[in-house]
């Protein structure tokens, strides 16, 4: 059967279920995903020599890691060429690009250090750039405390860094015409059971108050706060906990960011979305996959992803800021990007193809039998044929054929990096 016939047949099946596949594809196109630049170079960045620190880790030594801005940009371009739709890119401050003798420390970063990224985004038709201050892989983060540090020189350095980053995010938004999400995640924590849980949190609160006392354009920059349960070497206490940020965001009109790897493994991240959205205009995500711990594996089309995608679809693109966050160095890094991005899109599409209104009505009526039956039967509807149609409309291949293009690039480019 030709692909278009398969789509026509799928469209009929979904129509009988009360779902409009063309409308679903239109909506899918309105969900830009912020692709994280750091999958391409194992979260190393360009602003200094040294390895990754801050309680996060990449594992694996697959060849071909991008070592320069040019290499990273070329790899991102390759990945984007295999991903349908219009997307954003997510940068860290550590990806600043300095000219000769132009290197500055993180508290002195300026928009001009990101000019090349803006040119890159424009050239590739990206919808926008999101941004993250980098509070790790730096000598002043070596004690495991940054914005919560009791050492005033350290603390104020990171305050200045954050303010500098807000300016850069404003610059991204102005240049690209869409707001830039600026996400704050600090690694601060303790390895063993604290004697004093309060003081570091109080210092951190003071730092945030100080940062946000500097005015910025809220129509350009959306500040999101990313909580965490633990980090490697900081297993017992994390200053920026979920409760800390929920309250801070609520009181200061900022947004919470949920990283799906940052909760107890039996906790359902999808369940948090509807609660937070009753009290906040938007919610942000780092979609990741924890395997036994916050391991940042490439996202798969698993139940967790399906559940999160469904809540995101119900909330709609206007109320969600969607980014990916994983870093796998044991497989081809471009394949990791492409697969994760496409998996996120497929999960969104599958959620858009559910008879969501009907299911909600049945729940309200108390017909839990039909809810259960429909939820399960829907899993075997031909979502893949609708996905194939989406790819066809975008001029891309729907299935694993994309890997051949990655392999070719690997042979020609990645394996030559020694
Ligand atoms: C760490 C956080 C954070 C980082 C990136 C690199 O646990 O998830 O978002 O992964 O900023
Ligand atoms: Zn994250």
pLDDT digits (tens, 9 = 90+) for 239-256: 999 999 999 999 999 999
**Is 286 an active-site residue?**
yes
Hey, which of 146, 286, 327 would you mutate to test ligand 1's pocket, going by the most ligand atoms within 8 Å of its Cβ? 286
When pLDDT is averaged across residues 263-272 and rounded to a whole number, the result is 97
- What one-character-per-residue DSSP string does 130-198 give? EEE---SSSGGGTTS-STT-S-HHHHHHHHHHHHHHHHHHHHHHHHHSS-EEEEE----EESS--S-SH
Measured in whole angstroms, the distance separating CA 156 from the mean position of its chain's CA atoms is: 27
**Is 158 an active-site residue?**
no
> One of 294, 311, 328, 385 is an active-site residue; which one?
294
Nearest to 47, CA basis, from 1, 3, 112, 113: 113
Q: How far is the CA of 389 from the centre of ligand 1 (A)?
A: 34
pLDDT in tens, 130-166: 999 999 999 999 999 999 999 999 999 999 999 999 9
> One of 78, 92, 228, 242 is an active-site residue; which one?
228
- Residue 340 contacts residue 53 (beta carbons within 8 Å): no
**Is 228 an active-site residue?**
yes
Q: How far is the CA of 188 from the centre of ligand 1 (A)?
A: 12
Q: How far is the CA of 152 from the centre of ligand 2 (A)?
A: 27
> One of 75, 175, 259, 307 is an active-site residue; which one?
259
Measured in whole angstroms, the distance separating CA 87 from the mean position of its chain's CA atoms is: 12
> One of 75, 130, 175, 325 is an active-site residue; which one?
325
Reading the block at residue 84, the tokens are: 């349908």
Residue 51 has pLDDT above 90, yes or no: no
- Residue 381 contacts residue 340 (beta carbons within 8 Å): no
**Is 389 an active-site residue?**
no
**Is 92 an active-site residue?**
no
Residue 215 has pLDDT above 90, yes or no: yes
- Residue 286 contacts residue 226 (beta carbons within 8 Å): yes
- β-sheet bridge partners, residue 88: 34, 128
Q: How far is the CA of 234 from the centre of ligand 1 (A)?
A: 14
Ligand 1 atom index nearest CA of 38: 6
pLDDT above 90: percentage of residues in the chain: 96
Residue 201 has pLDDT above 90, yes or no: yes
Q: What is the pTM of this model?
A: 0.98
Ligand 1 atom index nearest CA of 261: 8
Half-sphere exposure at residue 313, Cβ-oriented, CA atoms within 13 angstroms: 27
pLDDT above 70: percentage of residues in the chain: 100
pLDDT in tens, 362-409: 999 999 999 999 999 999 999 999 999 999 999 999 999 999 999 999
**Is 170 an active-site residue?**
no
Q: How far is the CA of 324 from the centre of ligand 1 (A)?
A: 10
> One of 78, 87, 262, 297 is an active-site residue; which one?
262
In angstroms, the CA 256 to CA 281 distance is 10
In angstroms, the CA 236 to CA 194 distance is 7
**Is 217 an active-site residue?**
no
- β-sheet bridge partners, residue 89: 35, 129
Longest alpha-carbon distance in the chain: 69
Hey, which of 185, 258, 260, 327 would you mutate to test ligand 1's pocket, going by the most ligand atoms within 8 Å of its Cβ? 185
Nearest to 163, CA basis, from 104, 210, 218: 210
The pLDDT of residue 1: 85
Nearest to 414, CA basis, from 337, 326, 325: 337
pLDDT mean across residues, the chain: 97
In angstroms, the CA 39 to CA 64 distance is 12
Reported as a pLDDT band with limits 50, 70 and 90, residue 34 is: very high
Question: Reduced to 3 states, what is the DSSP secondary structure of residue 67?
Answer: coil
* Ion ligand 2: residue ranges with CB closer than 5 A: 259, 286, 325
pLDDT in tens, 268-322: 999 999 999 999 999 999 999 999 999 999 999 999 999 999 999 999 999 999 9
Q: In this structure, is the dihedral angle defined by the CA atoms of residues 299, 300, 306 and 307, taken in order, positive or negative? A: negative
Residue 50 has pLDDT above 90, yes or no: no
The pLDDT of residue 392: 98
Residue 22 has pLDDT above 90, yes or no: yes
The pLDDT of residue 235: 97
Measured in whole angstroms, the distance separating CA 198 from the mean position of its chain's CA atoms is: 30
The pLDDT of residue 127: 98
The pLDDT of residue 101: 86
The pLDDT of residue 3: 86
Nearest to 33, CA basis, from 303, 240, 343: 343
When pLDDT is averaged across residues 325-339 and rounded to a whole number, the result is 98
pLDDT in tens, 92-109: 999 999 999 899 999 999
**Is 29 an active-site residue?**
no
Q: How far is the CA of 118 from the centre of ligand 2 (A)?
A: 23
Question: Which ligand has the nearest atom to the CA of 131?
Answer: 1
Neighbours of 218 (CB within 10 A): 11
Among 51-60, 190-199, 246-255, 281-290, the range scoring the smallest mean pLDDT is 51-60
Residue in the structure block whose two tokens are 């919470």: 256
- What one-character-per-residue DSSP string does 239-302 give? SS-HHHHHHHHHHHT-EEEEETTSS-TTS-THHHHHHHHTTSS-EEEEE-EEESEEEEEPP-S-
Residues with CB under 6 A from ligand 1: 38, 43, 56, 132, 185, 226, 228, 259, 286, 294, 325
Per CATH, the number for 31-354 is: 3.20.20.150
Q: How far is the CA of 356 from the centre of ligand 2 (A)?
A: 29
Residue 49 has pLDDT above 90, yes or no: no
The pLDDT of residue 418: 83
Q: In this structure, is the dihedral angle defined by the CA atoms of residues 61, 64, 66 and 72, taken in order, positive or negative? A: negative
């Amino acid at each position: 059967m030709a692909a278009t016939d398969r789509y026509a047949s799928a469209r009929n099946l979904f129509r009988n279920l009360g779902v409009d596949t063309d409308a679903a594809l239109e909506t899918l196109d309105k969900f830009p995903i912020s692709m994280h630049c750091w999958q391409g170079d194992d979260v190393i960045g360009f602003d200094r020599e040294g390895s990754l620190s801050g309680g996060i880790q990449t594992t694996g030594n697959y060849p071909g890691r991008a070592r320069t801005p040019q290499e990273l940009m070329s790899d991102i371009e390759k990945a984007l060429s295999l991903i349908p739709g219009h997307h954003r890119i997510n940068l860290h401050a550590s990806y600043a690009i300095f000219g000769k003798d132009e290197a500055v420390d993180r508290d002195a970063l300026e928009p001009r250090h990101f000019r090349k990224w803006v040119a890159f985004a424009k050239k590739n038709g990206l919808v926008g750039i999101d941004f993250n201050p980098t509070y790790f892989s730096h000598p002043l983060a070596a004690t495991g405390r940054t914005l919560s540090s009791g050492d005033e020189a350290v603390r104020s350095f990171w305050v200045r860094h954050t303010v500098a980053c807000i300016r850069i995010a404003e610059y991204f938004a102005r240049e690209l015409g869409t707001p830039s999400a600026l996400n704050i995640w600090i690694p601060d924590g303790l390895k063993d059971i604290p004697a004093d849980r309060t003081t570091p949190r109080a210092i951190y609160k003071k730092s945030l108050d100080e940062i946000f006392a500097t005015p910025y354009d809220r129509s350009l920059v959306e500040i999101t706060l990313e909580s965490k349960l633990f980090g490697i070497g900081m297993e017992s206490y994390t200053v920026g906990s979920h409760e800390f940020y929920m309250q801070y965001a609520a009181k200061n009109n900022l947004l919470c960011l949920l990283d799906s790897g940052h909760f107890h493994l039996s906790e359902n991240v999808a369940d948090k979305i509807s609660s937070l959205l009753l009290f906040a205009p938007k919610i942000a995500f780092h979609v990741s996959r924890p395997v036994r711990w916050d391991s940042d594996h490439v996202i798969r089309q698993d139940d967790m992803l399906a559940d999160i995608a469904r809540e995101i679809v119900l909330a709609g693109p206007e109320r969600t800021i969607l980014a990916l966050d994983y870093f796998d160095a044991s497989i081809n890094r471009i394949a990791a990007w492409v697969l994760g991005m496409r998996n996120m899109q497929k999960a969104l599409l599958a959620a858009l193809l559910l008879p969501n209104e009907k299911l909600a009505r049945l729940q309200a009526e108390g017909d839990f039998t039909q809810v259960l039956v429909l939820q399960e039967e829907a899993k075997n509807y031909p979502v893949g044929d609708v996905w194939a149609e989406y790819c066809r409309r975008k001029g891309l291949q729907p299935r694993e054929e994309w890997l051949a293009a990655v392999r070719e690039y690997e042979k020609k480019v990645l394996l030559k990096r020694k």
